[in-house]
Structure 1
């Protein structure tokens, strides 16, 4: 597909340059909600008492890893991936012993190994100036590629359509449209999380 999604990457890099390594640097409005998202995203891991490899797809500066370490979750083998060299450099400086991949999976993701679980937190919440159709095309191609790289399941979030008003720069997706796509193309085994108080929902999609 045409690489109009690079506009989204540019936006997040500008946030990092403006706000530094913080929740604002990855364009989350407040830290408390960001922490809630990390907890919800990790809920995709069904067997938390055994070791699992987890890829933080669109890892930014590895805030999810910070959350894992702070909460002493020692059964997760964490790796990060980001399309942005700026974010990967920052994350690698913070965690030099952790594996971080800098790649565009739509271009050259075939060499990426398989992971038990893949988490995509905030990858599909903003569409910036992309049209809804352009963003849907990007989402559907990306989520298909990512699902091929997991052994057990993935988690991702999108903006809800059950809101008072929709922002033009955000990706609001109807449940009917999304679940129809998932069942037809990827898997019928999924859980919708709409219970954590934000204007979005998270999907756990399993093999």
Structure 2
């Protein structure tokens, strides 16, 4: 799996060097509103009574999710992990009071403990030049690890096969097939959001002990001014 992580690291290191702390800098295209929408979908994993919960942002980039958390005065204890040292260094300067981890999420050991919520915005939408089967295995490993490290819930996005065009470097999964695997292997407490106007969907996985009373659905989050 290391080869996929290495390819991802090199790709995003270059996009950030070229475009900086922007949606282009994390290869989300030039429309910053789309980037903000994806961030909002990550925060929709929160359940009522989340105050002071811990959240781990896998592939945190330059910390744009935390910027949204601060903008909306949401009470969370945030940690971010990313392969790209240049992004992590930028995030540390912007928000020195947060925990920023430069490394491969799949290599994190037990000393990092668990988090109430684990979110992943973008890693599973991109496969670069990796083959489909190899990326399928990587995706399953990543999803399993995120779920094992959460106490409450997980959110991640992925490209949908219900699209009118396909791009070679992106990673597409049939939502029904992926949902079936998750419910067979991980949890029956799942929500799938395929309703927003992008060719992707967000999946929300919860531990069996928690009722699905969503926090994010009850408020409109402020994006970029």
TM-score range, shorter chain: over 0.9
* Partner SS, residue 197 of structure 2: coil
Q: Distance in 2 between matches of 1:10 and 1:32?
A: 25
Give the corresponding residue for 1:23. 23
Structure 2: gaps spanning 5 or more residues: 208-225
Provide Cα deviations, 1:111-155, integer angstroms capped at 9, x if missing partner: 222110011001110100001111111111111111111000100
Shift of 1:49: 5.5
Work out which structure has the larger RCO, using CA pairs closer than 8 Å and 6 or more positions apart in sequence: 2
8 Å Cα contact 1:5/1:138 also seen in 2: no
8 Å Cα contact 1:103/1:109 also seen in 2: no
Give the corresponding residue for 1:63. 64
Shift of 1:192: 0.3
Q: Distance in 1 between matches of 2:15 and 2:111?
A: 29
Give the corresponding residue for 1:37. 38
* Partner SS, residue 117 of structure 1: strand
Shift of 1:105: 2.9
Give the TM-score of the pair, scaled to structure 2.
Answer: 0.87
Query: Is 1:179 matched up with 2:179?
Result: yes
Change (3 A) 1:89 1:135: same
* 1:1-207 pair list within 5 angstroms: 1-29=1-29, 30-47=31-48, 50-73=51-74, 75-207=75-207
Which ranges of 4 or more aligned residues in structure 1 deviate by more than 4 Å? none
8 Å Cα contact 2:79/2:100 also seen in 1: yes
Aligned residues: 206
Shift of 1:108: 3.7
